[in-house]
Each structure stands twice: as C-alpha cells, then as structure tokens.
Amino acid sequence: MEEQIDKGFVKLKRTYLEWEWYQDGNTFRLMIHLLLKSNYISKRWQGNIINPGELITSLNNLSKELKLSENVIRTSLNKLKKTGYIVTKSTNRFTKITILKSTIFDKINSVHNEQNNNQSTIRTQTTNNQPTTTNKVNKEKDIKERIDLFQKEIFQFKNKFSIETLNSFFKYWTEENRQTGRLKFENEEFWNLETRLSNWKTFGTNKPEKKQIIKNR
C-alpha cells in the first residue's frame, strides 16, 4: 500500500449546514471540490500566477473528477457565480476559478453577531470582539505572505534589472485594493513576470515623461 502524502486540510465550519446550497447535492459537491483543489499558496503556471483560493481547470476536467456531466457542472458553476461564491475567467484552453472565501458565511455570521450584540454582558462583548481581531490578524498575515512571495519572484531578476527598477515595480504592483483585499498584480488575468519587468524598465510609470521639444522652422 502506497504511503499517503499529507497535503494539509481545509477547515469546514458547522455553519455550512446552513449554507443556501447545502441541500443541492451537485452544487455542494462542486463547492467542496473547488475548496479542496484550489491553491493554498501562490504558484506559477505557464506564465500565470495562480493565487491562494484560485485554480486552473475546465468543464471537462471537473466532469471527470466528479463523475458528473458537463451540463450539470455548468449549471452548478452558474449557481455559485450568480450567488457570489466564485468568479470565473475562461480562455480557449482553460478556466480560472477564484473562490470568494469571505462570502460563504458572511450572511450567517452577520445574523449571529447581531443577536450576540444585543446581549449586554461584558463576556459576550469580549467573545464578539475576538473573531474580528483574529480575522484582521489572519488577513494581514495572508497579505504579508503573498507580498513576500511576490518580492522573492521579482528579485530573482536582480542580475537583469536594476534595484531601482525592481523596487519601483514591486511597490506599484503590490498596492492593495481595499474593497477586494487583492493586490494589484493579482487582478491580472495573464502574467509573465520577465516580460512585465522589461516593459517596466522601458515604459515604467515611475519615470518622468520626456518633454517634447518643437523646433521652430
């Protein structure tokens, strides 16, 4: 018997029992499958950076993996997209799926928090504040890890580009979108780092524009 390699785990909250698609067997299976298959660290794949919570797949692959027809997979994907649990970007070769993790339990948690906030004891107030603090710390840690990984990838090219170029490129592409929590480079569908750096060296936005001199004839 082959030894199983530990690939980590996915946390599954009991509030999943209250999830709107829990009783839809196919959609529930698909969502769990996507959670298990999605990246937990950033990786490069054929010139693209696949971030945590994202995966590259196709209808055909999902159909084979779940033993469901492509029509069933397509229907369940549309349900998850329309209700805000995933977003997809498709090409003629593959589909990139991004899981919007925070949306799964937001509505349920907001109801529980509202009920808890109506209680006046100090103990309850302390309990309510702990998840908020923990979530904030976890979010900051997650962002820092993604930034550190991106920085390492950039500075692999320190022999080809100046430190000034690498630093300005890094600063620009790691700006955070406060609404989505994603870094600027994570919003790019296609990404070839070396090509981006070359373009930045030539056309970088940090460089002042050359003034056009018009000579009198």
85-115 per-position pLDDT tens digit: 888 888 888 888 988 854 554 443 444 444 4
Which of 107, 128, 149 corresponds to the end of one domain? Answer: 128
Same structural domain, 104 and 169: no
Same structural domain, 150 and 106: no
Say which residue, 156 or 9, is predicted with more confidence. 156
Q: Which two tokens stand for residue 185?
A: 């480079």
Answer yes or no: is pLDDT of 213 > 50. Answer: no
Q: Is 117 exposed, middle or buried (0-12, 13-18, 19+ CB in 10 A)?
A: exposed
Q: Tell me the residue range of the domain where 86 lies.
A: 8-128
pTM as predicted: 0.47
Answer yes or no: is pLDDT of 53 > 50. Answer: yes
d(CA 182, CA 185): 8
Which of 128, 162, 195 corresponds to the end of one domain? Answer: 128
